[in-house]
Structure formats: C-alpha cells, structure tokens
Amino acid sequence: MTGLGLAAATRTNSRPGIQYIQCRDPNEGAGMSTTTSKLRDHCDHIDTALWEIPATARHGMNVPVRVYATRSLYRDMDDDVFEQAANVAKLPGIVGYSFCMPDGHKGYGFPIGGVAAFDPASGIISPGGIGFDINCGMRLIRTGMTLEEVRPKLEQLVDALFERVPAGAGGTGLLKISRSQFADLIEGGARWCVSRGYGWEEDLRRTEEGGRMSGADAGTVSSRAIDRGYNQVGTLGSGNHYLEIQVVRPENIVDEATARSFGIDRPYQIVLMLHTGSRGFGHQVAGDYLQRFLAVMNSKYHLGITDRELAAAPFDSPEGRDYFAAMQCAVNMAFANRQMILHRIREVFSDVFHRSPEELGLHQVYDVTHNTAKIERHRVEGREMELLVHRKGATRSFAAGMPDIPPEYGDIGQPVIIGGSMETGSYLLVGAETGAPAFFTTAHGSGRTMGRRQAKRSYSGQEIRKQMERAGIYVKAKSMSGLAEEAGAAYKNIDEVVEAAEVAGLSRRVVKLIPIGNVKG
Amino acid sequence: MPYRVLDDETTYDLAFVAWADTLQHLFRECWDATLSLTIENPEAIEAVDEWSFDVEHDSVDLLLCEFLDEFLYLKDSDGAVYRLVRVSIETPGIVSTVRSLVDEERGAYRLSATACGEPIDPERHVIGADIKGVTLYELLVEERDGGWFARVVLDV
C-alpha cells in the first residue's frame, strides 16, 4: 500500500495530521471534445429501446456507445450525455461498450447512468466513473402493517423520524464514535454495526456485498476524509436524499408472485425507502484520489486523458489499487450509514406503535448501491472474463441463479430499488437474464430534467408541501428551498424510465410504491 | 453583489460565478457564495471560534477548489459554519515556460486565511443546501477586463 503521505502535502493548519494532495500538472485537461457535429446524428436505433453510436464516430473511441432509452427519453437526453459516453469509450482497457441507462443525464466526467467495464490488467479505475457520493444507494424495508393501521399515526411517525434521523447541513450522526473506531467501521461496513446490536443478521444477507466490501483498507484514506466522516454515520444529508414511507396499492402490483417472494404480500402494505450514501466522507475520498490521479495519469502512466473529470489511474498500479481500497471504505461507510438509519427507523416505529420491530415485521427487502466499481465475472463475446465494472447512477441487476444474491431470492433474481421523485413514486424491480449485454445493470432513478435553482425559482417549498399534502403525502424538510428543488416536475417520468429498462430487458417491474410520508434534508 | 448563483448551469447541482478587482477579493466572494448557499442568513453567524489555515497549489483554479473545500471540511468535521475574516494570496514569483522549471522552481500560489464562526444552530440559522464538494466541472479562475472572474459548480 502506498500511503497518502507520499504525495505532496500542501495544506497546513492548526489541526495536526491533515494531509492533502497536490496536482502537479495544472495544464492537463483541455476539456471535452471540441468537435462540432452532434453525436446524436451518428446514433443508430438498433432495437426498440436501444441506440448505438459506432466507435468510428469520434477519434480515439475504443468501443461503441450504447444508450438504453425509449424514443422520447432519447429525444430529451442532453447532447452532452452522448459526448460524455463517447469520452468514456476512449478510456484505456474498456470492454464491450460504454453504456448509458434510460435515466442518463449529464454528470461530472462520466454521464450519470454511465456503465463501463474495464480489463483489470490493462484498464483504468476512475473516481468520475463511480460518482463522488460513493455507494449512494437505496434501502427498502417492508412492514407487516397496512395503510389503515399506519394512516392515523402518519404525522407522528414522520415527525419522529424527522426529529431522530439527522438530516441537512450540520446534522451529526446517530453513532458517537472516535476516529479510530470509524477506521474500523469503514473496514467493517454494516457488519460492524450489526455486530454491535444495530440491526439483524438478515439485514446483512439482504444487502449487496453482505454490507461489507472486503478489500477496504483504512490506511488508504486521508485523515481529512476521516475527520469529515466520523460523525456522519447515520445521517441522511440533503439534495435528493430522503427517507420515505410508502404504500403498495393493489393496482400498482405488476408481478404478484415476485412481490410475494420479496415479502410484499398484502394490499395497501406499508414499506419504507431510504436514499443516502457516504456523505462528505465519500466525497473527500473521491476528491483526494482525483487530485492524486491528475498528478500521475499522463506524466507517469501516459494515459492521454484530456478531461480532468475523467482522471484515472491504471487499475493495476499503486495509485489504482489504493483508490480501489479507499473506495471500498466509502462503500462500507455508506452501508453502515443506511444500517444505522434502519436501526433508528425500527426504534421510532417501535416507540410509536408500542410493539417490537419484530412484531411490526420491519424486515429489510434489500439494500442496493448505484455508485460503485466492482470486480465481477461476465461473458464477453462468449468468453467469461473478470472485469472491473464501474456503475455511476446505475444499479446492479443480477438475474436468478447468479452469485451474491440472498439465498431466499436465489431463484427469483436480485431486487432492484429505483427512487423516483418524492411526488411521483418509486419502484421495486427484479434483475433479468436478458440484462447480460449491459453487465446486468439497470437504471437508478428518474434523473433530473430541471436545474435546482430553476426548480427553486419555479416552485416554493411551502407550495410543494401543500400540494403534496393534498395528494396525501405528509412531508417534513430541514430546508424549504431544498424541498422546492426536489419538486416532482423537475424529474423525468419514472414510469417511462422503468418501462424503458423493461423493454430493453435490463430489469422487470415488480411493484410501484407511492409515498405517503417523506423526510428530507 | 459581486457573485451570482446560476439558475440552470447544470441540471444536477448548484453553481455560481463571481468577479472582483483582485484575486483575494475574488476568493472572498466565492467563500461568501458557498456560505450563503449553505446558510441563507449568513449575517446570523456569530464569531465564536476562529480558524486559520494555509493552502498552496501551483494552479489557481485548484487553489480555489481547496480553499472552498476548507469551508466544507469545517462544516462536516465540526458541524460549524465560518465567515471569512481575512485572506491573502501570494502569487508565484518566477514564471518560466519550461515545464520542469515550472514544477520544480516556480513554486505555487500560497494562500493564508482566517475565518470565524460557530456550530450550526437550526434555531437561528436558515439552512440551505448541504454541499458535499467543489467539482472540477467547468471550474474557471481567470483574469478578465482588468479584474478576476471565477465559475464554480458545487456538488450537493
């Protein structure tokens, strides 16, 4: 392992032990392609919900681009999405295609909804291909209760969750731990929490990677990142992160048998959905390594990358291996973060209903990440290969019979949790065998169509709250302006996104979930 | 106001542009913009604690990135928000066109700053966005029309 301290430390202040990384070549990164012709003009509509840009469309592309979208989602995609996906196609060691999911939109470097697999021997790893909120993800919890039982206590529940699940700027975590305990936590993930009584063994089984990536090494993480993270375990954050109480309406059950296998087995059943990630910690880890990669990617490794946001290092290099280990720490932090919030949800429900979480049937359905890079085995042109799969704003969607699926779901497929806007609803999907061409990946959410400030200018938080209350959704938010930024109209149509994913064979719909209560940062 | 929050710079995050007569003033404006997006009534922040820090970088835009990162660091590590009291920037003295000389001898921009603030108090502070990071997306710091101009995109 190469310690971060080997890089030039250029930041000083009165707090000891803070290290930071310097970019040695500030002239790198002239930006994106300057070609004027639109990539959209090179796109072939090769199947109902699949579009392809050939590798000849831009100089330097190693593989074609494939975009999964219905005609209308494709039409509404920003031109930059295609350029960004083409830039990803130029990265060394990319295998197959540079993919974009149906909810794709412009991101930093990679598009959000971007999927790219690299040969671990010859390919790269890139923080911009994972996202800065490492292991931003979704957790779905079912209850044994129905709307009739919960409705009378809804406001009390939402108020208590708002009070007891820290959210927004300045919220400190549920877990009071030292920096050295935090170092253990980021290597142990949700497993660390459950071993201390914050959850059940079955929660781990029903979490991607069992709630812990085993390659995490706290020694690869800067003390600055640890400072930013150690008091944030069990916090929701702000932006599009939320905790939602939802209902399963009978008319929204698409696949009753699969829903039943996931424990969704009664009309008007109440479930909870949680969307958050690794908070400032993950961002600091990604930022530290972005700077470190900028310093070496061209001068030492001659990768020829011109966009600073696509900063990368060979996966098989000291820098690449360190980032992979540090990224896994952030993945584990996010699993622990969601685990602690689940623990608090169980406490709140138990207090409000005066029954134990077991009696209330508060079982986790699944926890799935949508910002990661992982080593997986996939078939490429008939040959099984080990690949480093980057998924940024994209969800793993394993089919029945594949490894790393909880045994109880083994012959059904992996649950996939897709968060919509807080006004329009979310989805539980299941992985499909036909998802193999995209390395078993599907969408992650509905994707924004409107800027935050534009949404804030167009809607007021108070109006949105009243509008939601008229629709039967009780909402509590730390920031009223933040609430306006998350207005449903600022997002793509979630129904169209999951339909496109289904038509493309990436995943199948199981049930649509309608919010009745929402806690936001 | 010498900074302006952009309405639709991206479809995912917050962004602002700032301009000032000197580099120091530009950095101050950028700090104030980031602060006002986090706490919508920054005048309510009292000077309970003082924090001094130094940052250096050979690239002025990445210097700004790290300078603003200090604000986010204080917010996340201490749950506190700080108003900038003082900032000074020493610009590189020797300019060379030879890359190796630039790297080895030109040195860097050296920034020294002091900020004062207090822990976030939801009773007194109007909470805005919980910003996670400063991105490199379209990040720009440049001399323009005899002054300085910056564009910054923040990740929420």
Contact: A172, B11; criterion CB under 8 Å: no
Query: What is the token pair recorded at A469?
Result: 């209350």
Q: For B136, name the nearest residue in chain A, comparing CA atoms only.
A: A309
Task: Using CB atoms, pick whichever of B61, B76, B119 lies closest to residue A232.
Answer: B76
Q: For A285, name the nearest residue in chain B, comparing CA atoms only.
A: B133
According to the model, what pLDDT value does residue A269 have? 98
Q: For B5, name the nearest residue in chain A, comparing CA atoms only.
A: A453
Collect all residues with Cβ–Cβ distance below 8 Å to A45 and sequence separation of at least 6. Answer: A51, A71
Query: What integer is the mean pLDDT of B81-90?
Result: 96
Task: Using CB atoms, pick whichever of B8, B40, B130 lies closest to residue A451.
Answer: B8
Between A453 and A71, the more confident residue is A71
Query: Over the stretch A265-303, which tens digit does the pLDDT of each residue have?
Result: 999 999 999 999 999 999 999 999 999 999 999 999 999
Contact: B81, A170; criterion CB under 8 Å: yes
Contact: B130, A448; criterion CB under 8 Å: no
What is the 3-state secondary structure of chain B?
A: CCEEECCCCCCCCEEEEEEECCHHHHHHHHHHHHHHHHECCHHHCCCCEEEEEEEEECCHHHHHHHHHHHHHHHHHHHCEEEEEEEEEEECCCCCCCCHHHHHHHHCCEEEEEEEEEEECCCCCCCECCCCCEECCCCCEEEEECCEEEEEEEEEC
Task: Using CB atoms, pick whichever of A106, A291, A457 lies closest to residue B11.
Answer: A106
Query: Over the stretch A252-265, which tens digit does the pLDDT of each residue have?
Result: 999 999 999 999 99
Query: Over the stretch A2-48, which tens digit does the pLDDT of each residue have?
Result: 333 323 335 555 343 222 222 223 333 333 444 457 898 889 999 99
Contact: A231, B77; criterion CB under 8 Å: yes
Contact criterion met (CB below 8 Å) for A436 and A509: no
Query: What integer is the mean pLDDT of A161-166?
Result: 93
B106 Cα to chain A: minimum distance (Å): 12
Residue A227, pLDDT > 90, answer yes
According to the model, what pLDDT value does residue A423 have? 67
Task: Using CB atoms, pick whichever of A20, A286, A479 lies closest to residue B129.
Answer: A479
Query: Over the stretch A48-64, which tens digit does the pLDDT of each residue have?
Result: 999 999 999 999 999 99
Residues of A in contact with B70 (CB under 8 A): 13
Expressed in angstroms, the distance from the first to the final Cα of chain A is 37
Give the H or E element holding residue A294: helix A279-296
| CATH number reported for the structural domain that contains residue B17 in this entry | 3.55.10.10
Query: What integer is the mean pLDDT of A95-104?
Result: 96
- Which residues of A carry out catalysis? 444
Residues of B in contact with A291 (CB under 8 A): 62
Mean pLDDT of chain A: 90
Q: Which domain holds residue B73?
A: 3-155
According to the model, what pLDDT value does residue B8 have? 60
Contact criterion met (CB below 8 Å) for B39 and B52: no
Query: What integer is the mean pLDDT of B28-48?
Result: 96
Contact: B129, A280; criterion CB under 8 Å: no
Contact: B136, A29; criterion CB under 8 Å: yes
- E strands, A264-355, are 269-276, 313-314
Cα-to-chain-centroid distance, residue A56: 31
Residue A110, pLDDT > 80, answer yes
Query: What integer is the mean pLDDT of A472-492?
Result: 78
Residues of A in contact with B69 (CB under 8 A): 287
Residue B57, pLDDT > 60, answer yes
Torsion region of A432: left, alpha or beta (phi above 0 gives left; psi -120 to 50 gives alpha): beta
Query: Over the stretch B104-123, which tens digit does the pLDDT of each residue have?
Result: 445 689 999 999 999 999 89
Contact: A169, B38; criterion CB under 8 Å: yes
A184 Cα to chain B: minimum distance (Å): 18
Domain count, chain B: 1
Residue A186, pLDDT > 90, answer yes
Query: What integer is the mean pLDDT of B72-87?
Result: 95
ipTM: 0.85
